[in-house]
Amino acid sequence: MNTYKKYCPNVFIAECTEKHNKGDMITLTTKRGKENEHIVHNLVGYTGTKDNLKYCYSITRLDGFNNQERAKNRANRRSDWANSADNKSDAYYDRSNKDRDFLILGEPIKVGHHSERRHRKMFEDAHRNIGKSIEFQDKAEEHRHKAEYWEKLSSKIDLSMPDSSDFFAEQLEHAKEYHVFLKDNPDKREHSMSLQYAKNKVNDLEKKVKTSNKLWGYQEEIKPKEEQKKTTNPLGDFNGLFFAFNKDQFKKGMLSIGLEESDTAKILSIGHGGFLLKSRKEAFKKAVG
């Protein structure tokens, strides 16, 4: 089964049990069992074990739904809620004025009179309804404020979108130019940390460009960690070499090269916990270049 996996902020990738090619269409299942169709882009890594290897791919929804569409939906939903709260606020305000024509006369409550109960109820209804009107007015303002927030995000480009590679690359160029400008013109800095902030922005954008290229750009083949170890560690199977960081490891290491623990005269230390047969010294030098 293909599932979602969090890769970095705003980005979910596909975790698949089978290998896919760029452009393939796959179905992913959410934690709640909902299925969505996606298009495969780049292989970004592996998870699982050697016997249960899983492939991780960058993906986009087949229906085009992304973070921008999600933000638009939330902005529209908040706007609808704000309008609904406004309507309720107006309705309660109108109810609070139901007995307005009588109450503005300032007629005092006649204690003990048959009209006392009805008169008090007029005040209570007006007070309750105006309170509800203010409550829904505040809710409308809150929904409207959040709608504005989501509206701004509806045009934001983030790492979950294939267009982010070009976008962040352009942003990085501008950030580098601004950093150089501040570096060459100290008098243009607004405060003592301006240069540092500009450098931090460059560093942040460099990370985003690297990540976006890995997700959406051209990439070389990524190999599982087991294969990487085989190709990047030429001394992994070197005969006559072992590493030990305690007595038990040292004893096992000596046995692995055909020696007893007491045969220390036949080995030499190469540092960092490594021990080598003296007879293999020249071969070791050739191996490490």
Structure confidence by residue, pLDDT tens digits, 128-184: 999 999 999 999 999 999 999 999 999 999 999 998 989 999 999 999 999 999 999
pLDDT tens by residue, 82-121: 999 999 999 999 999 988 888 888 888 889 888 888 888 9
Other beta carbons less than 10 A from residue 227's beta carbon: 12
pLDDT of 230 > 80? The answer is: no
pLDDT band at 231 (very low <50, low <70, confident <90, very high): very low
Q: Among positive and negative, which fits the CA dihedral 18, 26, 32, 61?
A: positive
Which strands, in side-by-side order, build the sheet including 274-277?
241-243, 274-277, 267-271
Amino acid occupying residue 7: Y
Of 104 and 192, the structure prediction assigns the larger pLDDT to 192
Quickly state the pLDDT bin for 200 (edges 50, 70, 90).
Answer: very high
Take residue 189 and report the two structure tokens written for it: 């800095």
pLDDT of residue 220 exceeding 70, the answer is no
End-to-end CA, the chain: 47
Q: Domain ranges in the chain?
A: 3-66, 68-153, 164-216, 234-288
233: pLDDT strictly greater than 50? no
The pLDDT value recorded for residue 285 is: 81
151 or 258, greater pLDDT: 151
pLDDT at 143: 96
Rg value, the chain, Cα: 35
Length of the chain: 289
Burial of 109 (0-12, 13-18, 19+ CB in 10 A): middle
- Token pair in block for residue 47: 């998870």
String of DSSP letters for 57-113: EEEEETT---HHHHHHHHHHHHHHHHHHHHHHHHHHHHHHTTTHHHHTTTPPP-TTS
**Local confidence band at 77 (pLDDT 50, 70, 90 cut-offs):** very high
Q: Which residues pair with 173 in a beta bridge?
A: none
Is the alpha carbon torsion for 113, 115, 117, 120 positive or negative? negative
Place of tokens 């309804």: 129
